[in-house]
Structure 1
Amino acid sequence: MLYGYTDNVKVGYLRTLEKFIKKKNISDTLISNELLKRISSISFEMGRQIGLLIDRNNIIQIVLVGTNKEVLIPKLERFAITPGKLRGLRLLHTHLYGEDLDEDDITDLKLLRLDAVSVIKLNDRGEPYKLQMAYLYPSHEKEYDIIEYKDPYNIKDNFIEFISAIESELSRKIKERYEVKKGFSGVLIGVYKDKKEAEESLFELKELCRTAEIIPEEAFIQIKGAIHPKFVVGPGKLKEIVIYAMQNNIDYLIFDNILSPAQSRSIAEQTEMKILDRTQLILDIFARRAKSNEGKIRVELAQLKHILPRLTGRDDSLSRLTGGIGGRGPGETKLEIDKRRIRDRIAFLTNKLKDIESVRQTQRVKRTRKNLPIVSIVGYTNAGKSTLLNNLTKSDVYADNLMFATLDTTSKRLRFPEDRECILTDTVGFIRNLPESLKGAFKSTLEELEESDLFIHLVDISNTQYKKQIDAVNQIFEELKLNDKPKIMVFNKIDLVDKQVITEAQKDYPEAIFISALNKKTFEELIIKINHILFVGGKKLGIPVRDYFEKV
């Protein structure tokens, strides 16, 4: 492959350079004397930097044609990096004015995980008089090291043996870290308006990662008035993050900011690492947690709608095949086929949901005929809604100390003395700044809320951000125009906080009830209040709460 600034280059030079492709460097050293001499001579005659990308079999895979100051490296997806390994390619390129290895060379070495990056220094007669080689250093003492050969024609070191030993040590270091972390890891990235917002949002992002079983290894934040329109954090910072992630065998780059399709593509062009934003992370959690047929369909639908505008051909091999009529070659056709399949699947799932919604509407009508009041437990994710439902109704709905532990809406009967009963519904947890694209996955929950007669707004008092979580839930209620319905505010997890925290909350929310969803003995005031609101003229239970549960 010949790549680079080939415009305005004489055809004779291009043909000469093309002959180097797939040619073998007949030497176990960094570069053979014959190849060194020929490349230096051609580079000097052209007045341009010439680069070679050579694999471990000493075969020249790519020839780079540069300007007099730089060479550009193409995408190297077909030379994929195995975790813990190097790329298996070494770069050698000429420097016409005797310059040393520069910052761009070192960045390419670290960012692309090349075996080595070397510069051949030419004198004013076009002769190589020095050669510098940089390679990644397998120690925390420094990131890379440089070897200088004062006589490029007298290099005797066996390069393949040398770089294989370096790679083995790098792999051993990474394996040690991997065994310690035990699972997928991620780097958290975010741009925020101030430090307080950064602290609060990162805390929540870490909890989302924990739910998705991703270990956050490091966080990179920037305090700015606005995000970079192309790379979110800026190109320099992004390179720094990618280099850190590759050196530490990180699995994911996780952005707290929601990435636009254009930003996703721009970032993907800078790295081969897996990229997630806040929306994709939540979708991944939804996909894990959805159990019902409807839940699974809604999540898949949300995922497909999120993927469709981001679907693009990243492989250079596809773009090189777009030479048919109107530039529509096989690569573009394949991309269009993928998009069409996704659109067809979206249409199929949408129709399937209409059938499910029709059945649910029938069930709702039957429930309404029985005049059973509906009580919905709402609140921020991981407030303890499923645990409360289980202990109020003697159910065994899945509950865990995780965000979005349950996605599907669950309804159970709650019986009171005097043959009174209601439907108690556990809804999916809310989260602040919920992207519009995810609201479809909440549709069944939102429909249940519209049918509710009473809300139990459950709050996790052990979360230091509980006031902001209350505001987030109240904002959603306002958007849904549900504020006219009765609501009981209930603070949960009182067993996890000091009395002072409870006292302060009681001052701010005097009408609230305080419970531990794990302790039924704390439920009496809540049950009395539900009974009183739902059933006009309702009386207090008149029996100890423990006897009430035994009776139920």
Structure 2
Amino acid sequence: MTPSDSHPSNDGPHPDAAHDDDERLPAIPGTAFVLHPEVRGEAKGSARGLRTPEAHLEEAVGLAAAIDLTVVVARSVRVNKAVPGTLLGGGAVAELTGEIHEKRPEIVVIDHDLSPIQQRNLERAWDVKVIDRTGLILEIFGERARTKEGMLQVDLAHLSYQRSRLVRSWTHLERQRGGAGFMGGPGERQIELDRRQIDDRIVRLKRDLEDVRRTRGLHRKSRERVPYPVVAFVGYTNAGKSTLFNRLTQSDVFAKDLLFATLDPTMRQIELGGGHKAIVSDTVGFVSDLPTQLIAAFRATLEEVDAADIIVHVRDAAHPDAEAQRQDVNAVLGSMGIDTESDPRLIEVLNKADLLEPEADGSPNAVLRAGSGANSRRTQPLAMSALTGEGVDTLLAAIRERLDQARTSLTLTVASSEGQVIAWLYQNGDVVERHDDGERISLTVRLSLQDRARFEKSFGDQVEIPG
């Protein structure tokens, strides 16, 4: 039976929810009790409204599994009205208390944002560590960060979140101090010491990340001197971006059927065919209700997406919530200033087509229906399977075509003695026509808009460009 609370109280936990510590057996390490609150009316007008409570709960269980927690109970809780003191209401809190104590989980995961007061009250009522959705995602990122940049970004996101917490709900700093996981955190005295240091640490981390941002900017400028466009993969977590990346680049980037398998971005060179090359970037996956702290902290990484020549949105076409996931990704891209309805750089890919049931005549109608939410002003989404390789050639052709569409033809005349100018044009563009006339050379070159702007800035006074 799903717990519900028809008439929630606004005065915090039910008084009967208290429990004598001495009557409880020790918590079972590595176990979690997962709750998804169905707050009435909260999902209207958002991507959350496209998902069923079962889908929300399944994703929450997947998030818990991503940090090796064993879920002993997973359930949804109907909440008619969010209660300031506990979110769930006194009746639901009291009803859940017995089952939580019986299962003895190490942690209760609430698939919803909790205020510090709500988190503290639930911990007191259930006598167990409680973590909300944001804290859980931050915990996953803390486990997965491997590069210096990734760890800086996760630390900043965590500290921005932890700054307002009355109780410690995340373990990254505890591990740095040699702590013992969720239940082995430091006492109140250590928490107060951390609080006095958090602001200073945030300032230092922001300064370090600003250095990272400048370094990334320098790297981008270096890549501008190389005639290879950048293709960035974006998409919902576990959509198959890393599997596609590995297939295209013959790499072995960690790819697993796991939420947030990729955290640190990776770049490799690939062949597009026809002698064309590109640099592809595998980026961190998005998720519904992505914590704002993470979006802010990962600004330097997300700038790589914004600066890309092509953005490939990889979708899991076989997922029942494919359209909701698409909207979640578009929301994050929109927050970065990328207009998902009109940006010509976007290519939408329906991955995992091999998992879809074909029509009786073998036609790909099911795949195309999965992409029916795509913007009609752009081309139809491409069906493919990164696992089997089906449709990969079509994707590469689409990338080449989109890059060609973004190029402009430039006709100019240059002195034959200007060897540097001529070499630059051959290196950075496609010379489609050339006429040598003694001391002068007439060229027609196809350049990207970005390269044309660079050329005119660097060599505009050394060539003649017809008006």
After TM superposition, the score normalised by the length of structure 1 is: 0.59
Q: Which amino acid aligns with 2:110?
A: F
Matched, 1:504 2:366: yes
Secondary structure, counterpart of 1:518 in structure 2: coil
Q: CA RMSD in A?
A: 3.0
Q: Which moved more, 1:519-528 or 1:459-468?
A: 519-528
Deviation at 1:452, TM superposition (A): 1.1
1:506 touches 1:512 (CA, 8 Å); kept in 2? yes
1:186 touches 1:218 (CA, 8 Å); kept in 2? yes
Q: 2:347: which partner in 1? A: 488
Q: 1:479: which partner in 2? A: 335
Q: 2:320: which partner in 1? A: 464
Secondary structure, counterpart of 1:520 in structure 2: coil
Q: Structure 2: which 5+ runs fail to align? A: 1-13, 42-48, 170-186, 408-467
Q: Structure 1: which 5+ runs fail to align? A: 1-102, 116-166, 315-330, 539-552
Matched, 1:367 2:223: yes
Q: Take 1:335 and 1:281, find their aligned partners in 2: how far apart are those partners?
A: 19
Deviation at 1:240, TM superposition (A): 2.8
Match 2:20 to one of 98, 112, 125: 112
Q: Take 2:137 and 2:402, find their aligned partners in 1: how far apart are those partners?
A: 36
Q: Take 1:210 and 1:336, find their aligned partners in 2: how far apart are those partners?
A: 31
Q: Take 2:15 and 2:326, find their aligned partners in 1: how far apart are those partners?
A: 49
Q: 1:302: which partner in 2? A: 157
CA deviation vs aligned residue, 1:22-48 (integer Å, no higher than 9, x gap): xxxxxxxxxxxxxxxxxxxxxxxxxxx
Q: Which amino acid aligns with 2:320?
A: T
Secondary structure, counterpart of 1:499 in structure 2: coil
Q: Which amino acid aligns with 1:281?
A: L
Counterparts of 1:50-449 in structure 2, within 5 Å, are 111-115=19-23, 183-193=30-40, 197-311=52-166, 336-449=192-305
C-alpha change, 1:336 and 1:284, in structure 2 (3 Å) is: closer
Q: Which amino acid aligns with 1:184?
A: T
Q: Which moved more, 1:404-413 or 1:261-270?
A: 261-270
Q: Take 1:184 and 1:458, find their aligned partners in 2: how far apart are those partners?
A: 33
Q: Which amino acid aligns with 1:409?
A: P
2:79 touches 2:88 (CA, 8 Å); kept in 1? no
Deviation at 1:193, TM superposition (A): 2.2
Q: 2:456: which partner in 1? A: none
C-alpha change, 1:112 and 1:360, in structure 2 (3 Å) is: same
Deviation at 1:336, TM superposition (A): 4.5
Deviation at 1:357, TM superposition (A): 1.7
Secondary structure, counterpart of 1:471 in structure 2: helix
Secondary structure, counterpart of 2:92 in structure 1: helix
C-alpha change, 1:227 and 1:536, in structure 2 (3 Å) is: closer
CA deviation vs aligned residue, 1:454-480 (integer Å, no higher than 9, x gap): 111111112111011112222222332
1:191 touches 1:232 (CA, 8 Å); kept in 2? no
Matched, 1:522 2:391: yes
Secondary structure, counterpart of 2:105 in structure 1: coil
Secondary structure, counterpart of 1:187 in structure 2: strand
C-alpha change, 1:399 and 1:312, in structure 2 (3 Å) is: closer
C-alpha change, 1:242 and 1:487, in structure 2 (3 Å) is: same
Deviation at 1:284, TM superposition (A): 0.8
2:353 touches 2:367 (CA, 8 Å); kept in 1? no
Q: Which moved more, 1:458-467 or 1:198-207?
A: 198-207
Q: Take 1:426 and 1:417, find their aligned partners in 2: how far apart are those partners?
A: 20
Deviation at 1:358, TM superposition (A): 1.7
Q: Take 1:333 and 1:241, find their aligned partners in 2: how far apart are those partners?
A: 31
Deviation at 1:439, TM superposition (A): 1.1
Q: Take 1:312 and 1:213, find their aligned partners in 2: how far apart are those partners?
A: 23
Q: Take 2:393 and 2:207, find their aligned partners in 1: how far apart are those partners?
A: 45
Q: Which moved more, 1:401-410 or 1:513-522?
A: 513-522
Q: Report the structure number with the largest CA radius of gyration.
A: 1
Matched, 1:531 2:362: no
After TM superposition, the score normalised by the length of structure 2 is: 0.69
1:295 touches 1:441 (CA, 8 Å); kept in 2? no
Q: Take 1:513 and 1:271, find their aligned partners in 2: how far apart are those partners?
A: 49
Deviation at 1:360, TM superposition (A): 1.4
Q: Take 1:227 and 1:537, find their aligned partners in 2: how far apart are those partners?
A: 49
Give the number of the structure with larger relative contact order, counting CA–CA contacts within 8 Å between residues 6 or more apart: 2
Q: Which amino acid aligns with 2:124?
A: E
Q: Take 2:129 and 2:406, find their aligned partners in 1: how far apart are those partners?
A: 59
Q: Take 2:322 and 2:406, find their aligned partners in 1: how far apart are those partners?
A: 34
Q: Take 1:505 and 1:379, find their aligned partners in 2: how far apart are those partners?
A: 17
Secondary structure, counterpart of 1:528 in structure 2: helix
Deviation at 1:428, TM superposition (A): 0.9
Secondary structure, counterpart of 1:191 in structure 2: strand
